[in-house]
């Protein structure tokens, strides 16, 4: 692979903790452990593409200098989720001493929430037994899937989606390094699309740049979404009693275009949350039901039925709104 073709998400991965954008509190805590061997086991958790792996790698580079590769062992729990993996692979790596003058090495276990409960129980023992030579950094999206004894053995570092301004900073930094001419409105489109996922931001940027230029016209934002205005229009129809039209939009606009339903429900939530058309009681009710909508779709229920049913609930809430309800 030539440098030009390199994957930007790798090429522009932060190599120092100071280059990690956002996540200030988490990064500051990690900085303290660069020269301090009292580092505990860590649990980095939060949404995909927010810098968990990138921060751990940057941390290892700062802590171990040229020896970082030997002292940061990266494993992925989702490759093999059972107890044997922990008893064999993970244990044998945890037993090894650090390379060079260091007291301990780091074992980074990605997707630790995909381990079975038995495997987690075995992991807990390995963490205890070999903590002198190995500190674990567990990484996951859903920490509640980890058993309590694992959670309580780790210092949690929650990673959050990046703010729009942070994504913008990341994109413009890369555009400048890559010497790309860009329209600010095009950067804004990507920021809006990725909703705080830095990895997706960098990937979208790379596929959108053509011949050293980024313009709004060439943004190849891949499918899986509808624009915010469509979602807004559907909600508005539903709240204004035009249910047939709202249901029609589900068939013609939403179902054919959305593949990422988590993103869709997120947009729906934001639009309702910030709507000034709706009284507060309706907004609260509508938002309270979005969790069920998302979970049902994620668990495999038919999105058509789920969204239609949700829209009916919205309309009912609108008409059942407390008479003379005031936001004051």
CA distance 145 to 161: 20
If DSSP codes are grouped into helix, strand and coil, which group holds residue 214? strand
| Residue 155, number of CB atoms within 10 A of its CB | 12
Residue with the shortest CB distance to ligand ATP: 51
Which of Mg ion, ligand ATP, none is residue 314 near (CB under 5 to 8 Å by kind)? none
Which residue shows structure tokens 């008893």?
Answer: 87
Cβ neighbors of 205 (< 8 A, separation 6 or more) are: 8, 171, 174, 175, 190, 214
Query: Can you tell me which of 30, 77, 138, 170 binds ligand ATP, judged by CB under 6 A?
Result: 170
CA distance 284 to 276: 13
**Cβ distance to Mg ion smaller for residue 109 or 238:** 109
Token digits for 225?
Answer: 């979404």
**Cβ distance to ligand ATP smaller for residue 16 or 32:** 16
Q: Is 160 a residue that touches ligand ATP (CB under 6 A)?
A: no
Q: Is 50 a residue that touches ligand ATP (CB under 6 A)?
A: yes
Per the CB < 8 A criterion, the answer to whether 277 and 238 are in contact is no
DSSP state letters, 75-111: EEGGG--SHHHIIIIIHHHHHSPPSSS-S-EEEEEET
Q: Which residues pair with 182 in a beta bridge?
A: 214
Using CB under 6 A, count the residues that bind ligand ATP. Answer: 24
Q: Is 20 a residue that touches ligand ATP (CB under 6 A)?
A: yes
Footprint of ligand ATP on residues 250-309 (CB under 6 A)?
A: none
For the CB of residue 48, give the shortest distance to ligand ATP in the complex, in Å: 4
Q: Count the helix, strand and coil residues of the chain and give each as a percent rounded to the nearest 5.
A: 60, 10, 30
For the CB of residue 27, give the shortest distance to ligand ATP in the complex, in Å: 8
For the CB of residue 11, give the shortest distance to ligand ATP in the complex, in Å: 8
Query: Can you tell me which of 6, 32, 48, 125 binds ligand ATP, judged by CB under 6 A?
Result: 48
Query: Can you tell me which of 8, 13, 29, 53 binds Mg ion, judged by CB under 5 A?
Result: 53
Query: Can you tell me which of 49, 90, 124, 190 binds ligand ATP, judged by CB under 6 A?
Result: 49
**Cβ distance to ligand ATP smaller for residue 53 or 151:** 53
Q: Is 54 a residue that touches ligand ATP (CB under 6 A)?
A: yes
Question: What size, in residues, is the chain?
Answer: 328
Q: Is 141 a residue that touches Mg ion (CB under 5 A)?
A: no
The region, left, alpha or beta by phi > 0 then psi within -120 to 50, assigned to residue 211 is left
Q: Is 12 a residue that touches ligand ATP (CB under 6 A)?
A: yes
Angle CA(173)–CA(22)–CA(110) in degrees, nearest 5?
A: 100
Q: Is 53 a residue that touches ligand ATP (CB under 6 A)?
A: yes
For the CB of residue 110, give the shortest distance to ligand ATP in the complex, in Å: 6
What residue ranges bind ligand ATP (CB under 6 A)?
Answer: 9-10, 12-14, 20-23, 48-54, 110, 141, 159, 162, 170, 198-199, 202
Residues binding Mg ion (CB under 5 A): 52-53
């Amino acid at each position: 692979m030539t440098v030009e073709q390199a994957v930007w998400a790798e090429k522009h991965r932060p190599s120092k903790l100071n280059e990690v954008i956002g996540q200030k509190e988490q990064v500051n805590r990690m900085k303290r452990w660069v020269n301090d061997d009292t580092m505990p086991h860590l649990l980095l958790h939060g949404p995909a593409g927010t810098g968990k792996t990138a921060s751990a790698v940057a941390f290892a580079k700062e802590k171990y200098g040229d020896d970082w590769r030997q002292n940061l062992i990266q494993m992925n729990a989702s490759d093999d989720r059972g107890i044997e993996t922990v008893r064999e692979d993970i244990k044998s790596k945890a037993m090894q001493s650090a390379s060079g003058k260091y007291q301990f090495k780091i074992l980074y276990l990605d997707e630790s929430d995909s381990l079975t409960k038995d495997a987690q129980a075995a992991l807990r023992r390995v963490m205890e037994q070999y903590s002198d030579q190995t500190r674990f950094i567990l990484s996951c999206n859903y920490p509640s899937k980890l058993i309590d004894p694992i959670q309580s053995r780790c210092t949690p570092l929650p990673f959050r989606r990046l703010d729009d301004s942070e994504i913008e900073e990341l994109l413009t930094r890369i555009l400048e390094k890559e010497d790309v001419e860009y329209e600010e409105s095009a950067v804004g489109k990507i920021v809006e699309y990725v909703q705080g996922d830095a990895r997706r931001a960098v990937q979208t940027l790379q596929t959108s740049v053509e011949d050293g230029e980024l313009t709004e016209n060439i943004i190849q934002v891949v499918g899986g979404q509808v624009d915010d205005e469509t979602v807004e229009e559907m909600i508005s129809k539903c709240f204004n009693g035009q249910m047939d039209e709202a249901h029609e939009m589900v068939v013609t606009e939403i179902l054919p275009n959305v593949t990422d339903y988590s993103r869709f429900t997120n947009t729906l939530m934001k639009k309702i949350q910030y709507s000034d058309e709706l009284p507060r009681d309706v907004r609260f009710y509508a938002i309270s039901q979005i969790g069920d909508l998302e979970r049902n779709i994620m668990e495999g229920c038919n999105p058509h039925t789920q969204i239609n049913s949700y829209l009916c609930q919205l309309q009912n809430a609108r008409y059942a709104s407390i008479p003379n309800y005031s936001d004051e």
